[in-house]
Amino acid sequence: MIILKSRREIERMRQAGRLVARVLAELGRRVRPGVTTAELASFAEEFIVRHGGYPTFKGYRGFPAPICVAPNDVVIHGIPGPERLREGDILGIDVGVTLDGYVGDRAHTFPVGEVGELGRRLLEAAEASLAAGIAKALPGGRVGDIGAAVERVAREAGFSVVREYVGHGVGRAMHEEPSVPNFGPPGRGPLLKEGMVIAIEPMVNAGAPETVTDPDGWTVRTKDGSLSAHFEHTVAITADGPEILTLDEAV
């Protein structure tokens, strides 16, 4: 069941989204060679709690950390640890915050220092694919319009999109209906309506789209070891078009 949100609910989700944006901005300032992903996670949790929120991912289906990290060939769901970031890495960070009962969810992939040509192109294409998907989050459209736009941009840049994991509705729960795939034909899937709030989140691989999961049961990597980038925003569908909720004017 797709849960439509009232204006008041969307305002509360905007607050959660702003906090997510602030956390990610702070984390982005701390992403540099030598830093461990555990240090980033520790900072994020403290920041979220200090601002009245709760890190949504912590404990979700047993996930053991407040944020997900995804260095290089990790696509999603990586668990922060003692590994130090190195010059030239790329690092995806996925942050979820529950504030006043509502969830904000956003991911961004950062370059660590200077990255190579392939990494730079991948980040640009993945972020552009997210923008293309958001532009299709219009009342009267279909969920498939979003995935088709995302996939087109990624493929035109020579990359592939992951198919085993998808975007989703967001609200009081992190994962609500509908599923929002990053692929497929336009004009298919549930009708987009004013009041829907969805997370659009392309996972773009430099190589093939297939993934494998580590023995920890969480960390998802590209099967061929290629780089992967993940960008995400929580977006409200309004009569005036898409509104990105996970932005902060102050950042």
Partner 1 sequence: MPGDAPPPLPPPGRVVRSTAGRDRGTMYVVVGHEGDRYLLVADGRTRPARRPKKKNRRHVELVGWHDARYDGHFTRGRPPADEVLREMLSACQAGEGGTTSDGAQ
> What's the min distance (Å) between Cβ of 174 and partner 1?
6
Q: Is residue 76 a contact residue for partner 1 (CB under 8 A)?
A: yes
Binding mask 187-226 for partner 1 (x = CB under 8 A): -xx---------x-x-x-----------------------
> What's the min distance (Å) between Cβ of 165 and partner 1?
4
Residue number with CB closer to partner 1 (62 or 240): 62
Q: Is residue 17 a contact residue for partner 1 (CB under 8 A)?
A: no
Q: What is the dihedral sign for C-alpha 152, 196, 109, 63?
A: negative
Nearest to 11 by CA among 238, 241, 251: 238
- DSSP 8-state symbol, 84: B
Residues between 95 and 114 with contacts to partner 1, criterion CB under 8 A: 96, 105
CA distance 36 to 142: 41
- DSSP 8-state symbol, 215: T
Residue number with CB closer to partner 1 (134 or 203): 203
Nearest to 134 by CA among 67, 201, 181, 81: 201
Considering only the stretches 40-48, 82-90, 120-128, 168-176, report the one whose residues sit in contact with partner 1 under the rule CB under 8 A.
Answer: 168-176
**Single residue of 152, 163, 172, 223 touching partner 1 by CB under 8 A:** 163
CA distance 231 to 127: 6
Token reading at 171: 């609200």
**Single residue of 33, 49, 60, 216 touching partner 1 by CB under 8 A:** 60
Q: Is residue 159 a contact residue for partner 1 (CB under 8 A)?
A: no
CA distance 108 to 27: 10
Token reading at 111: 């370059």
3-class state of residue 175 by DSSP: coil
Q: Which residues bind partner 1 (CB under 8 A)?
A: 56-57, 60, 68, 76-77, 94, 96, 105, 163-168, 174-175, 179, 181, 184, 188-189, 199, 201, 203, 230, 232
